[in-house]
Amino acid sequence: MSITPQETDLFSLLEHRYSVRGFTDQVIEKTVLQEIFQKSQQAPSNCNTQPWQAYVISGERCRQFAKSLAEAIVGGAPSKPDFDVTLGFFDEYRQRQVDCAYALYGSMGIERGDKAGRGAAMLRNYDFFGAPHVAFIAMPKSFGIVNALDVGIYLQTLNLVMESYGVGSCIQGALAYYPDLVRKELGLPEDDSMQILCGISFGYEDKNHAANNTRTVRADLGENVSFYE
């Protein structure tokens, strides 16, 4: 059975898409799930090498893993990412990060000085924001920044294809922080030959979840783009 995407106009998708951080329990039909990942295979890559690996966990298994991951982290599991995760934001980049955090915490009613509230909101990353699906995105350990460009393009493709099927998602760098626990769950070799770059939680949006009122803005064009003639 083929499922028709609900929205395929690119400009409309770009305008209306936002990160979703609260989901209903409804599991996405397997045929839809497969179509989403099949269509995303069209992402371009350097020499067509397609270096991405997506590990999709669904349904009860996803919820069980969220539970055990969050428990392990609260219990003090060490964070040992596969690559340097230093963000190194400064000046306007730092300001945008702060604005982004305020937008999220503000929509959830978390006050500026509420450390516990912020901690709990951060921990929601590891509950996959309640989603019935999560995909961990990886590439071989020997690959570097050139190949990570391809994976980034894949992520955006996946993100927009999901959106076109009415599926909300949140790409999460936070899901790169405990790769050993992820590899164990996925049955991948412990030798970290696949590096876990990030995750993406997804499913149908819970329209009543406060976090989903978060909206972000973009810089003026001149801050990011220079035209030369």
Ligand X SMILES: Cc1cc2nc3c(=O)[nH]c(=O)nc-3n(C[C@H](O)[C@H](O)[C@H](O)COP(=O)(O)O)c2cc1C
| Residues lying near ligand X in the complex (CB under 6 A) | 18-19, 21, 100, 125, 170-174, 198, 216
Which of 3/123 has CB closer to ligand X?
123
- Smallest distance from the beta carbon of 125 to ligand X, in angstroms? 5
What crossing angle do the helices spanning 30-40 and 145-164 adopt, rounded to 10°? 140
Q: How far is the CB of 129 from ligand X (least distance, A)?
A: 8
Q: How far is the CB of 156 from ligand X (least distance, A)?
A: 8
Separation CA 114–CA 121 (nearest Å): 11
CB-CB contact of 45 with 150 (8 Å): yes
207 Cβ contact partners less than 8 Å away, ≥ 6 residues apart: none
Residue (128 or 165) nearer to ligand X, CB: 128
Task: Compare residues 58 and 172 and give the one whose CB is closer to ligand X.
Answer: 172
Joined tokens for residue 69:
């991951």
Question: Between residues 36 and 211, which has the closer beta carbon with respect to ligand X?
Answer: 211
Q: State how far the Cα of 84 lies from the Cα of 199, in Å rounded to an integer.
A: 16
Shortest spacing between CB 209 and ligand X, in angstroms: 13
